[in-house]
Structure 1
């Protein structure tokens, strides 16, 4: 029996003004970005088969729909494209209409279940799904939800502090060891203890809001750890979940903090317009105005990087200067949120250097990366290793080969002390790529770093 032509998919290709080859190219770009290497050989004939009625297998429907979504600037679902796609718990977290408690339970259960984890890991980062909701959504989310049932446990101020302390402990571990260490334990804590607290009986609305804020920080941290480990498809729904919980708590600065992280992720993925949109939202009105100086500085430096990536040099420079002023105004008498414990002069210098690199000021970037390395404490081993990786790459860009190798040796020293981080691994891959033109020149420093990078990759892959 002849297959029925997929007219829905064909109509979307026409709307996108794509040939079959162009559609295949867009598909491969999304698959490559999400490290779905099994799908990077899709060609025009595959797209034609799908138009002819053959059902794309595995994650292919999700990848194709994401490519179409980006092209058409709206969310294209598998159903609209005439495909059958596996249901993912990420969809609930990314749908602003889905209650955060439902999203938390679904995400956590799937993330921790070996048999279902593939539904979450192996998806794609969805830029189209991150269209932020209207102002009315934020207002509605901040309203008090229905009262808990009679059998619900009592939840007090001490429980809120317990969640905050636990999240801070995981955050400090992330700074030392990287996002690849301990995230599943955090997810288990969110899914069990924190989820029960969120449906408990609160003595007053302030405690309710504070508990949702504490839960939001935990969800955000789980997303950040996944992002650091290169699991972008996992990070995205946790960031969205954190944003929902922050909105329910009415915590505007925390919403800005999470939007800042989402902008950072989009920036790293090369989605500069989306990154700028998210970073602009992170500093919008109350999110910036009611934040403490240290957090304003953090929001500002990421916004500066996004401006630079979008070609807005003057605005990026002005924003950097404002971030410096904000950090300068932070002092011991101001109570800062625990989530900003890591952000100081070293972090500001790192972010400034990243912005200067984008603006092609390599000398300025080297100076700022060096300043970051000199001022960062030993407790921040993961970030220290990443900064050294960037510093070496920037030194290489101006021909300082042996100096770069010495810097990279220090980076590898830090990484080899139990750092599990996708961002750190990416720096090692960059080292190998940048050293490749020098492999046959007999430079001992190059040979040494090459050998160490190969050994490191064998241990983490």
Structure 2
């Protein structure tokens, strides 16, 4: 590594062990999160760990790393772009446009499964495809750099999806590793909008885990410069509404309000004729309303949050987006319970539990657990509706025991 560092300084670009013909040293899971670690080496190591049941158990139970949320210096991006360009001249098999199209098709297939059934379904299938077929393409030879960048973009999106599914399933350390690889792949593809998309997901995860200040730094980075300006209007809206959530979580109400308005305007500017990436297919009025509701809830505007959750439920195609539909209803029921509207909350939670049928998601499990906790003081002195919802939530949770 010292030799690589010396050569990197001499040449003014990042030099890897592979380039100078030396084997890479063994990496621990913590090592893989370093921004200077070779992208493909980290991906290969991560895949080997994740597909092995015992090693995956160790990875999934390891602590989420706050240190790894620190962003690399600005010069890192140009270094990664140069590294990617060097890869295009590899001696592996020639990669064609059909290979890129196939990865996009698989990404679309797995993304729709995730949206409908949750991150607990098929995540390892995504990992196996990413770390075998797709990883071999990344080590291949390309006839031009546009094709290479497209493949690295597709691989980044798939790594992001593996991370998102792990995040949704409550495997936060695993998710963090895939998000990290996804940012590196986006940098090697010189795709700032995609990097912003992944940083937005990292911010979302940090918000959910209670690391609000770090979440705001990540969200701010996701809307900084070309990460925002190079994105399509729909993706800008997605980045912007999570930025608003991070501001709200940090008590910055006015900033959150301005960010929400900009996100609304960005989504209003989106249309079916836009040349937008497939990764944002899920984000529409229902998603914007859901995230807006979360931001309003975190600023204490419970009435406004309830209205936005209702709007989200009304606008969403529930059969296609069952996981988020269940979570939205769960959050809305929680607000109703906080306001003492227990019977109304139970009616909402009953609909949430209906939507959870067949869904495997850490977020739906958390919603079910929070139902039971909120209903605990009422079980003995309230009506049958409380006992019914509690029993159904208990049954749902038991399927994951």
**TM-score, scaled to structure 1:** 0.79
Ranges in structure 2 where 5+ consecutive residues have no aligned partner: 1-25
Counterparts of 2:56 and 2:274, CA distance in 1: 42
1:392 corresponds to which residue? 333
Count of paired positions? 373
**Is the contact between residue 196 and residue 223 of structure 2 (CA under 8 Å) also seen in structure 1?**
yes
- How large is the RMSD of aligned CA atoms in angstroms? 1.1
Which residue among 23, 28, 37 is the counterpart of 1:98?
37
Describe the SS at the equivalent of 1:134. Answer: coil
Counterparts of 2:93 and 2:325, CA distance in 1: 43
Counterparts of 1:146 and 1:188, CA distance in 2: 22
**Offset from partner CA, 1:375-432 (integer Å, 9 cap, x none):** 100200000000010010011111111111011001111112x100000000000001
1:51 corresponds to which residue? none
1:458 corresponds to which residue? 398
2:359 corresponds to which residue? 419
Describe the SS at the equivalent of 2:272. Answer: coil
Cα offset for 1:93? 2.9
Change (3 A) 1:202 1:88: closer
1:338 corresponds to which residue? 278
1:52 corresponds to which residue? none
2:17 corresponds to which residue? none
1:410 corresponds to which residue? 351
Which residue among 133, 142, 163 is the counterpart of 2:103?
163
Counterparts of 1:425 and 1:89, CA distance in 2: 30
Describe the SS at the equivalent of 1:142. Answer: helix
Which residue among 331, 339, 342 is the counterpart of 1:401?
342
Which residue among 372, 381, 402 is the counterpart of 2:312?
372
1:35 corresponds to which residue? none
Describe the SS at the equivalent of 1:120. Answer: helix
**Is the contact between residue 94 and residue 130 of structure 1 (CA under 8 Å) also seen in structure 2?**
no
Which residue among 110, 113, 129 is the counterpart of 2:49?
110
1:435 corresponds to which residue? 375
In the alignment, structure 1 residue 128 sits paired with structure 2 residue 67:
yes
Cα offset for 1:148? 4.4
In the alignment, structure 1 residue 306 sits paired with structure 2 residue 266:
no
Q: Whose relative contact order is higher, 1 or 2, with alpha carbons under 8 Å and at least 6 apart?
A: 2
**Is the contact between residue 149 and residue 188 of structure 2 (CA under 8 Å) also seen in structure 1?**
yes
**TM-score, scaled to structure 2:** 0.91
State how 1:192-207 maps to structure 2 within 5 Å.
192-207=132-147
**Is the contact between residue 89 and residue 103 of structure 1 (CA under 8 Å) also seen in structure 2?**
no
Ranges in structure 1 where 5+ consecutive residues have no aligned partner: 1-86
**Is the contact between residue 87 and residue 139 of structure 2 (CA under 8 Å) also seen in structure 1?**
no
**Is the contact between residue 247 and residue 256 of structure 2 (CA under 8 Å) also seen in structure 1?**
yes
Cα offset for 1:119? 3.7
